Amino acid sequence: MLGFLDPLRTITADNSVWVALLRLSIAAFCGGCVGLERGKKRRPAGFRTHMLVCLAAALAMIISQYLTMMVSEYWDGLVAVQGGGNKYTDVSRFGAQCINGIGFLGAGTVIVTGRQQVKGLTTAAGLWASTCMGLAVGAGFVEGAVIGCALIVLTITLFNHLERRILNRARNVNFHIEFAHVDDVGAVISAIKAQDIRIFDVEIHKSKTPDSNQSAVFSIRLPKRMSHASAMSVIAGVENVRAIEEL
């Protein structure tokens, strides 16, 4: 139907580099668009995490196509010499086990802090992406691995600054607030609502010792043209508020 996309649907020895570059770039763009939307809503897996996962998944599919081509064409003679095995075996199933196995290692990098922050998702996605790069190199598709490596590094470094700038302008914000007593939550809520700020959720964390500060995580939506710093200043001015931090 879309004839101009036909070159993207096949991998050949002549155009593998450019097809891989275009495919991986499209995957990074699509994953980034999804992650950008999630990041604006303060979801744990945001811009870079989605971009890495989508990019690595595209790389895995390219590896599968590359191996199929090599088995059916270039390795045909080698299979015959070594006993005439089934050359139509799905050679990508071995790599699939590596992709599944990396989940155990990636899960170990994801933690939930005491302030209900999820950290380590980008690291876990990077591990999974690195696994796909290793599969590409092992299969001999070095061009795809090099392109994937460059885009993954670009995602982790350059797009980190872009993500921060976008999140700093987002209207959905999570604040971790410490105050003297649990009863002070009402004063904080009143001060927030007085600024026409919408409160989505309040999660109170009671301290185990009575002398320690109490804390709560506020999920709010700022009105237009109100900066994060302005909202923090309003909350910090409430009596008995000890500390405030944006999550």
pLDDT in tens, 218-245: 888 888 888 888 888 888 888 888 888 8
To the nearest 10 degrees (0 to 180), the angle between helices 47-69 and 16-40 is: 150
**Domain ranges for the chain:** 3-168, 172-246
- pTM exceeds 0.85 for this model: no
Q: Is the model more confident about 24 or about 78?
A: 24
Element (H, E) at 177: strand 172-179
Query: In one letter, which amino acid is 204?
Result: I
- Percent pLDDT > 70 in the chain is 77
Rounded to a whole number of angstroms, the distance between the first and last alpha carbons of the chain is 47
Return the SS3 of 247. Answer: coil
pLDDT in tens, 163-176: 778 777 778 888 88
Q: What's the mean pLDDT in 209-221?
A: 78
The predicted pLDDT at position 1 comes to 46
When the candidates are 3.20.20.70, 3.90.199.10, 3.40.50.2300, 3.30.70.260, the CATH number that belongs to 172-246 is 3.30.70.260
Distance, C-alpha 48 to centroid of its chain: 4
CB 160 within 8 A of CB 48: yes
